[in-house]
């Protein structure tokens, strides 16, 4: 069999009505014609260690390579970038459906974080834009049994929401250190 070397591919996909978002796809080395499970992840800019990042790196490509060497199994990793500063990221990865934020009565309105929850837009982007693009262009196995979603902090909250909202799409979710605020 012919072996295909690992690749990193950047996609620019439409996000909402007026924006685009970067998505990076890591395909590990694999045999020609082989398809692999796929893991979609938030904070794509922090996953691979090849660009400077503000909050640390997960080194996912290295981890997949080491796992593949040890077990013979690997997965395609799809890193979905989060744009903007911390509060923009938090809003993007917080679904409005979770409820309104609870603020202590003694906290003055001007001291309250100005977070606009738009996690449903991110959810729609993952399921209706990213997943079809990845399935059409990369050697991924299709179907719930081969598909996972993963994120940490606010990305963990978004993962929780997306996986539970689409059980027909995802077999599991990696909800790491979720940043669940108090909702009312």
pLDDT tens digit sequence for 157-168? 999 999 999 999
Q: Which two tokens stand for residue 85?
A: 């500063």
At residue 75, does pLDDT exceed 80? yes
Residue 152 burial (CB count, 10 A): 20
pLDDT of amino acid 183: 60
The pLDDT of 81-91, averaged and rounded, is 81
The whole-number average pLDDT for the span 160-182 is: 92
CATH of 3-178, one of 3.20.20.70, 1.10.10.10, 3.40.190.10, 3.40.50.1820: 3.40.50.1820
**What does the chain come to in residues?**
184
DSSP state of 96: G
Summarize pLDDT for 134-145 with one digit per residue, the tens: 999 999 999 999
Beta bridge mates, 36: 140
76 versus 105: the higher-pLDDT residue is: 76
Residue 89 CA to residue 81 CA, distance in Å, equals 10
Residue 90 three-state SS: helix
User: Binning pLDDT at 50, 70 and 90, where does residue 182 land?
Assistant: low
Where are the domains positioned within the chain? 3-178
H or E segment at 134?
A: helix 131-137
Q: Is the pLDDT of residue 43 over 70?
A: yes
Q: Which helix (H) or strand (E) holds 147?
A: strand 147-153
The whole-number average pLDDT for the span 74-96 is: 88
Mean pLDDT of 111-117: 81
Residue 184 in this model has a pLDDT that exceeds 60: no
């Amino acid at each position: 069999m012919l072996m295909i070397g690992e690749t990193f591919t950047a996609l620019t996909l439409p996000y909402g009505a007026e924006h685009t978002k970067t998505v990076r796809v890591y395909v590990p080395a694999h045999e020609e014609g082989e398809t692999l499970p796929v893991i979609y992840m938030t904070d794509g800019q922090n996953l691979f260690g090849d660009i400077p990042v503000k909050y640390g790196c997960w080194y996912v490509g290295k981890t997949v390579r080491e796992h593949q060497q040890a077990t013979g199994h690997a997965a395609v990793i799809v890193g979905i970038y989060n744009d903007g500063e911390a509060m923009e990221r938090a809003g993007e990865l917080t679904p409005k459906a979770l409820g309104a934020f609870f603020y202590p009565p003694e906290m003055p309105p001007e001291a309250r974080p100005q977070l606009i929850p738009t996690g449903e837009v991110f959810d729609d982007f993952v399921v209706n834009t990213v997943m079809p693009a990845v399935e059409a262009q990369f050697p991924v196995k299709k179907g719930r049994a081969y598909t996972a979603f993963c994120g940490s902090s606010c990305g963990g909250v978004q993962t929780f929401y997306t996986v539970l909202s689409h059980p027909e799409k995802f077999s599991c979710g990696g909800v790491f250190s979720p940043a669940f605020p108090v909702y009312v």
